[in-house]
Amino acid sequence: MRNSKLYKEKSQGVLSIIAGLLLLVGASALSAGVSYSDDTAAESDGGNSTTTSTVDSQEKCTWYLTGIQASISLDVLSGGTNDKYDGTEMTLEKDAATDLTVYTSGNQGTGAADGNTECTFYNAKTGVSVSNSIATYGVTARDTIGADDSMNYDLSPTNPLKVTYAETICWSNGTADNPTNAWTVNESPIDMYSALHTDGNVMSLAIGDTLQVNTSSLSERCSASSVYQLKIPAGKEPSRPGNDITFTGPSVVFDVTLPNS
């Protein structure tokens, strides 16, 4: 199998996206007691000599994904009168509060992006790729009284849910102080408007650029900021004008793939 997709997480919020997640790839441990047999027995007794030893095992390198917010509430960027929807197109936008971060560390979960635990991939080294997609494409509206179907609408190629990433700090085979960056970060807007729309690549690192052994001075890590944007189309009329309206957009899915070749 060329690719192993380990995780797909989705959650729905108000024009907003995703619950936090952690990727863990199995644990590895080895432990045995130490003892020595008694060699003072008489020759006629015979006997056995048991040899045992205790060895520590290196933690297995694991890919972690952090920085996914449970919800993101978009703010009015432009359109309307006094920041109120008046039938003209309105743009909503929000910077995510935390960077999306992918990094390697040991399987025991004690490391962090800024301080990884030393580890090895053993015989299962992989690259990593993170992408976005949506499972549905409708936007639903609800005012302070109840549902307002007149304000519902579907995303489209001309009016998508747009997510734009920007690299903040990335390194491979290095550290923040001595970075060697082989990561690819997509900084073009990812337009999502259909459940059938192709996943939008966010960031990736090829298996050939992944270290077999990670230490405190050599590891992989990539972080990117993100901006979410959505537009309420022109030509709509609320069922109960004057009330606040909450729009709930589709879930955004973070797909993580670990290519092993």
Is pLDDT of 188 > 60? yes
Mean pLDDT of the chain: 81
Under 8 Å between Cβ of 211 and 172 = yes
Q: What is the pLDDT of residue 62?
A: 95
Model confidence band, residue 80 (pLDDT cutoffs 50, 70, 90): confident
Q: Could you give the maximum distance between any two Cα atoms of the chain, in Å?
A: 104
Under 8 Å between Cβ of 5 and 87 = no
Quick one: how many helices (H) and strands (E) in the chain?
Answer: 0, 19
Under 8 Å between Cβ of 7 and 25 = no
pTM of the model: 0.78
Model confidence band, residue 17 (pLDDT cutoffs 50, 70, 90): very low
Of the listed ranges 42-46, 51-55, 170-174, 180-184, the one predicted with least confidence: 42-46
Query: Would you give the DSSP letter of residue 149?
Result: G
* Tens digits of residue pLDDT in 87-145: 999 999 999 999 999 999 999 988 888 888 999 999 999 999 999 988 889 999 999 99
* Tens digits of residue pLDDT in 205-245: 999 999 899 887 788 999 999 999 999 999 999 999 999 99
Distance CA 137, CA 153 (A): 9
* Tens digits of residue pLDDT in 235-249: 999 999 999 999 998
Can you give the residue ranges of every domain in the chain?
3-26+57-259
Is pLDDT of 176 > 80? no
